[in-house]
Amino acid sequence: MTECTCHVCKVVFIREQKFINRSKKRGYKICCSKKCQSLSQIKLKTYNCTECNKSINRTPSSIKNIKNIFCSSKCSATYNNRHRNIEINQNKICCCGNNKDINAILCHKCRVKIQLQNSLYQTLTLGDKTYTKHKYAKYSYVRFYARKIGVELGFKCCRNCGYDKHFEVCHIKPVSEFTSDTLLTTINSPENLLPLCPNCHYEFDNGKLTIEEINSKYPD
């Protein structure tokens, strides 16, 4: 038996000479356990932390395609928080002049405009986008695009009472009265959309308010 020192944890241990000779022949480091043996085979390189410049050991594969290397999550958060405002100021303006998210190519208004001009939307019918799993969400897709078109049309308040804190986009002709082969562009046409607050929307849907009364108060 021969006394030797572990290459990784520096612990002194005893091992038979034949096992030591076999490890040297195969090019292995002398280690006290399988855990230390696997650690000795990892090729570590020394790098400097981007924030505090502290020396750290990392494998080349663990930092592949990584721009900045940090020694801890604290250094990562400190560096990213300090540079976030600079990036936002550089990339927050859309091509139309409006503000946009830093990760977005276009602002919300431009994205909606492109989606509504998409050829796929132009060919969709009511039957293609009718949700059958829940009765209250049957026409959710139609109403979703109606709200987007309302933004494009500049809806800002209720057409009947002028309330501007919250309003909904109402269909003058109910969606349920259209056939399944009707195009969504026909259902959500500007002539069939009307901005109303929840109270006026309820009255309009239940026959207590007519389109003639609304147009008489706020004629186009």
CB 195 within 8 A of CB 154: no
Rounded mean pLDDT for each run of 10 residues along the chain, 220 residues in total: 82 83 79 80 81 85 82 89 63 73 71 68 81 80 87 86 90 91 89 92 91 77
The pLDDT, as a whole number, for residue 46 is 84
The pLDDT, as a whole number, for residue 203 is 93
pLDDT digits (tens, 9 = 90+) for 69-110: 888 999 988 888 887 665 555 567 777 777 777 667 777 777
Give, in order, the Cα–Cα distances in Å from 32 to each of 24, 187, 213: 14, 76, 91
Q: What are the DSSP calls for 106-154, one per residue?
A: S-HHHHHHHHHT-HHHHH-BTTTT---S-GGGTTHHHHHHHHHHHHHHT
Domain-wise residue ranges, the chain: 124-217
Closest alpha carbon to 167 in 178, 177, 155? 155
Q: How far apart are CA 10 and CA 67, in angstroms?
A: 34
The pLDDT, as a whole number, for residue 62 is 77
- pTM, whole model, 2 decimals? 0.48
